[in-house]
A and B are shown apart, each in its own frame.
Chain A
Amino acid sequence: MRERLWIGAGLALFVILVTYPVWHALQAHSSTKGPNLVFPAREKECVAPTSFMKTSHMKLLVDWRESVVRNDRHTYVAFNGKTYDMSLTGTCLRCHDKRQFCDRCHTYAGIETPFCWDCHVDPSLAQRSVP
Chain B
Amino acid sequence: MKITRKEFLRLAAAGWVVVSGRHLLALLDSPDKGSTAEGTAASPRKRWGMVIDTKKCRKDEGCTSCEEACDKAHNIPAFKNPAHEIEWIWREPFRKVFSADQTPYMEESLLDLPTLVLCNHCDNPPCVRVCPTGATWKREEDGVVMMDWHRCIGCRYCMAACPYGSRSFNWEDPRPAIRELNPGFPTRTKGVVEKCTFCTERLAKGQAPACVEACPEKSMTFGDLINPLSEVRQILGSRYVLRRKPELGTGPNVYYLI
Contact = CB atoms under 8 A, between A and B. Distances in A.
Whether chain B is bound by chain A comes out as yes
Given A119-B189, A121-B75, A72 B200 contact: yes
B252 to A, nearest CB: 22
Interface in B127-147: 139, 141, 146
Nearest to A124: B183
A48 B149 CA distance: 27
B181 A128 contact: yes
A69 to B, nearest CB: 5
Contact of A89 (B148, B150, B184, B189): B184
Interface string B175-209: 01111111111111100000000001000100000
B148 A70 contact: yes
16 contacts: A65-B150, A72-B204, A74-B204, A115-B189, A118-B189, A121-B185, A121-B186, A121-B187, A122-B183, A123-B183, A126-B181, A126-B182, A126-B183, A128-B181, A129-B180, A130-B178
Nearest to A122: B183
B179 A129 contact: yes
A128 B180 CA distance: 8
Nearest to A123: B183
B179 A130 contact: yes
B27 to A, nearest CB: 35
Contact of B150 (A69, A72, A128, A130): A69
A119 B183 contact: no
Contacts of B178: 130
A90 interface: yes
Given A115-B189, A119-B149, A119-B188, 7 more contacts: A69-B150, A72-B139, A74-B204, A89-B183, A89-B184, A121-B181, A121-B186
B188 to A, nearest CB: 6
A15 interface: no
